[in-house]
Amino acid sequence: MRLTQIIEALLFASDAPLSAEDLSRVDERLDEDTVEAVIRELRAEYELSERSFQIYEVAGGFQLLTRPEFVSVLERYDSVPQPSRLSAPALEVLSIIAYRQPLGRAEVEDIRGVGSSGVLRTLVERELVAPVGRAEGLGRPLLYGTTRKFLEHFGFRSLDDLPRPEELPVVLRERPQPQQEADGAEGTDGTDGT
């Protein structure tokens, strides 16, 4: 059994991206570097044999996904699960959390000028954001951050793939932020672990 076959089998049988570290656990011959070399080899094989899928880097891991040119075929088939799209308010709340994390509900609402608890709750249920700690101060409100599912949903390799603030048309002056205490994920019951 070749290493390319083993890695391919794992990627093929997984419904989420697997990191090089995860993948290296399967065989003693593997470490993170060799996993990446194997993945390069697989990519070349798929390219050469014109497979309809390829290995993409998502959320700090690797995932087998169809190539974009097949969307026109796949979006017509009922048996193909279609990607969910988030509403404009959900995207707005997510972008605030993504750039300002960790932050609390009150800060999100301050920025948007509207109540956001419903949207926030749904985002937590969908595991796109999760509580990551508590702020200092009155009531020690929960602070939220984005999860790995968030990265997967947008196809980001990491948070570094977020559009940089200075690429956005309006660059706002930063408000002085209270230094947050690095405060464990208490009370999160590990929602983003899966």
Residues 121-140 that bind other proteins (CB under 8 A): 122-123, 125-126, 128
Nearest approach, Cβ of residue 111 and a copy of itself (Å) = 16
Q: Which of 21, 32, 155, 158 binds other proteins (CB under 8 A)?
A: 155
> Residue 87, interface with other proteins (CB under 8 A)?
yes
Longest Cα–Cα distance of the chain, Å, equals 61
Task: Please count the residues of this chain forming the interface with a copy of itself, following the rule CB under 8 A.
Answer: 96
> Residue 92, interface with a copy of itself (CB under 8 A)?
no
Q: Which of 86, 101, 140, 141 binds other proteins (CB under 8 A)?
A: 86
Residues 59-88 that bind a copy of itself (CB under 8 A): 59-61, 64, 66-67, 69-70, 73-74, 76-77, 79-81, 83, 87
Q: Write the CA distances from 150 to 89, 126, 135, 144, integer angstroms.
A: 16, 9, 22, 12
DSSP string, 46-92: HHHTT-SEEEEEETTEEEEEE-GGGHHHHTT-TTSPPPP---HHHHH
Q: Which of 3, 94, 103, 135 binds other proteins (CB under 8 A)?
A: 94
Give the separation between CA 47 and CA 62, rounded to whole angstroms: 16
Q: Which of 5, 44, 67, 136 binds other proteins (CB under 8 A)?
A: 67
Strands 61-66 and 129-134, bridge-based pairing: unpaired
Residues 169-188 that bind other proteins (CB under 8 A): 169-175, 177, 181, 183-184, 186-187
Give the separation between CA 103 and CA 98, rounded to whole angstroms: 10
Q: Which of 51, 56, 84, 57 minimizes the C-alpha distance to 70?
A: 51
Which two three-digit tokens encode residue 151? 């990265």
Q: Which does 135 bind (CB under 5 to 8 A by kind): other proteins, a copy of itself, none?
A: none
Q: Within 86-174, where are the H helices? A: 88-100, 105-112, 117-125, 148-154
> Residue 68, interface with other proteins (CB under 8 A)?
yes
Q: Which stretch binds other proteins (CB under 8 A): 38-46, 60-68, 130-138?
A: 60-68
